[in-house]
Amino acid sequence: MSAPPSPDEGLTAAQLAAKHGLTVSGARPSLFEYVRQLWDRRHFILAFSRAKLTAQYSQAKLGQLWQVATPLLNAAVYFFIFGMLLGAREGIPSDIYVPFLVTGVFVFTFTQSSVLAGVRAISGNLGLVRALHFPRASLPLSFALQQLQQLLYSMIVLVVIMMAFGSFPDLSWLLVLPALTLQFVFNSGLALIFARMGSKTPDLAQLMPFLLRTWMYASGVMFSIPAMLADKNWPGWITDVLQWNPAAIYMDLVRFAMIDGYDSSFLPAHVWAFALGWAVLAGGVGFVYFWKAEERYGRG
């Protein structure tokens, strides 16, 4: 060994580093600093989400038309099975069942695909994590943002369906904005939580579709929770608790905003408070939970 001689001879590595102002490579920044770094990367987050969205259908002949066609086909399948074959429409006036169902499918898909993308956000992009430096939360946030843009395409379909079934744009439609904003914060929080869990346990990618499907059936995507429970002699608070489930809350809010005839009698008590509470809870917990492991992502 021919270690070069140095005037700093005799100092330990840590002392030498401190003397010359060197810092530990890949250490986790403070929470405040982390937010600042993320803000600096906002253009990357947006560009990455849009690139993913475009790349999705770039080989298809119809191209970006699939952004709209996919949600439409999805809604058609659910309508065929639940609306026509199973007749899940009890309790809902039949003239609003189609918009009711389609809204539910689109809004739930928004959360569902954010969670699924979140699980693979780190574990599916290890190459990127191991090659470049950026706050790792950029990835799950970028995927959540991709789903938000996907939802905006779905909203085009939704507006057409609404008008076809007699609900026309009015002032109450503006309520969609706060509802979807809160849902986006909620989804981002979930994506962050599952990104950390998925980075440690990639097996979650296999498990989550089942959990999410269970969640979907329990959330009243294709039926009305209060109408379903009306003929059972259960205490009223059970209905409330089921309706306070975040997926049900955001679906009901969008339905309430857009569908004429879906009035506040379908909504649980304190609906906006719960919408806000879920968003703040998931967003806050998710962000801190993800940041806590920042320096460990990329370990193979």
Q: List the alpha helices (DSSP H) in 29-137.
A: 31-40, 42-56, 66-78, 97-123, 126-129
Q: Confirm or reject binding of residue 177 to another protein (CB under 8 A).
A: no
One-letter amino acid for residue 87 of the chain: G
In contact, 248 and 130? CB cutoff 8 Å: no
How many angstroms separate the Cα of 63 from the Cα of each of 56, 148, 160, 265?
9, 19, 21, 42
Q: Confirm or reject binding of residue 61 to another protein (CB under 8 A).
A: no
Q: Which stretch, 9-17, 75-83, 145-153, 170-178, contacts another protein (CB under 8 A)?
A: 9-17
Q: What is the CA radius of gyration of the chain?
A: 24
Identified binder of another protein from the candidate list 10, 21, 61, 206, rule CB under 8 A: 21
Q: 95: Cβ–Cβ under 8 A, 6 or more apart, which residues?
A: 165, 166, 261
Q: Which stretch, 52-60, 178-186, 215-223, 229-237, contacts another protein (CB under 8 A)?
A: 52-60
Q: Which stretch, 18-26, 93-101, 165-173, 250-258, contacts another protein (CB under 8 A)?
A: 18-26
In contact, 250 and 107? CB cutoff 8 Å: yes
Q: Confirm or reject binding of residue 171 to another protein (CB under 8 A).
A: no
> Quick count: other Cβ atoms within 10 Å of Cβ 95?
14
Identified binder of another protein from the candidate list 10, 24, 85, 264, rule CB under 8 A: 24
Q: Confirm or reject binding of residue 233 to another protein (CB under 8 A).
A: no
Write out the residues near another protein by the rule CB under 8 A: 1-8, 12-14, 16-17, 20-27, 40-41, 43-44, 47-48, 51-52, 54-55, 58-59, 125, 127-134, 202, 295-296, 298-300
